[in-house]
Amino acid sequence: MPTTLASSVACTGVGLHSGAEVKLTLVPEGEGDRGRYFVRTDLQDAVIIPAQVSQVGETVLSTELVSAAGAEQGTVRTVEHLLAALVSHGVEAVRIEVDGPELPLLDGSAQGWSQAIATAGVTTISSAPQHRPILSEPHWIYDGDAFVAALPSPTLRFSYGIEFKEAPIGKQWHSWTPVDFGANGDDFLHAIGKARTFGLARQIEQLRQAGLIRGGTLENALVCDEERWLNPPLRFENEPVRHKILDLVGDLSLIGTIPQAHYVAFKASHRLHVALAKAIAKRLQ
Ligand SMILES: [Zn+2]
């Protein structure tokens, strides 16, 4: 675990599902052996929740992690955008203090997290070279026509396809070969990190009634109906599929260091992303 943050940085915002305001502080991790982990500072005994694939709880609409002692001890959800920014900027070890059960959604993208990491700076803990495992055999998870796969590849690459009957989204495909992944966060921010989460107007009322997305507004998610975007302009013509790559990178970060492979997904979800991360983590053990 050779890198952490050079200084602490704090940020406040509203959780997408809870609607509650939360404060989050990224704190340098001197030792590094714990990797990336959350601390629920609002709970008694400051419950520790490792950002590891073994700790995943719910995966409906966002990824939730549970403490090693179980969900009743503490959980934290919507972790994927921050984790994608940390892994892309090469932050291998960090203590993430949060005073509630859900991370701030910010503007629905990882832009604010990238900026916070850039403000804090990244520093090397030890001189041991960072080692990226190379995937030697394919892994794949599917559910109906949705799938996510990891294929052996000479470079790290992420490709994603989505298909919606809503015309504003329609069929989208994006492929991203990061430049200097895990060291240069600029490339991540400009290609993927800025892409915001998106939703369908027809689902929003349903989700609200189910007690979800209470913090969702037109300021923190792109929303479309059958014909148009309700809150343009978009940051990219294919912003939704780029956001799916952001989610995939965040979920794969739960492996630790993301192995070199070509990750290919079609109509996948946090549940499938996490299942693939589990299969790869098991293989690497
Ligand atoms: Zn997302």
Write out pLDDT tens, residues 161-196.
999 999 999 999 999 999 888 887 889 999 999 999
| Distance from Cα 126 to the centre of ligand 1, integer Å | 32
Q: Looking at residue 32, what is its pLDDT?
A: 63
| Distance from Cα 215 to the centre of ligand 1, integer Å | 14
Q: Which fold has domain 139-284?
A: lpxc deacetylase, domain 1 (3.30.1700)
d(CA 111, CA 114): 5
Read off the DSSP letter of residue 68.
T
Element (H or E) spanning 243, and its range?
helix 239-252
Output the six-digit token pair for 246.
């952001």
Q: Looking at residue 129, what is its pLDDT?
A: 66
- Determine phi and psi for 79, rounding to 5 degrees: -90, -10
Q: What is the mean pLDDT of residues 221-226?
A: 93
**Confidence at 262, pLDDT banded by 50, 70, 90:** very high
> Which sequence positions are flagged as catalytic?
270
- Per the listing, tokens 């406040």 go with 12
| Distance from Cα 199 to the centre of ligand 1, integer Å | 10
Residue ranges covered by each domain of the chain = 3-124, 139-284
| Distance from Cα 48 to the centre of ligand 1, integer Å | 23
Output the six-digit token pair for 97.
């203090």
> How far out from the chain centre does Cα 218 lie?
21
CATH of domain 3-124: 3.30.230.20
| DSSP bridge pairs for 94 | 28, 36
pTM of the model: 0.95
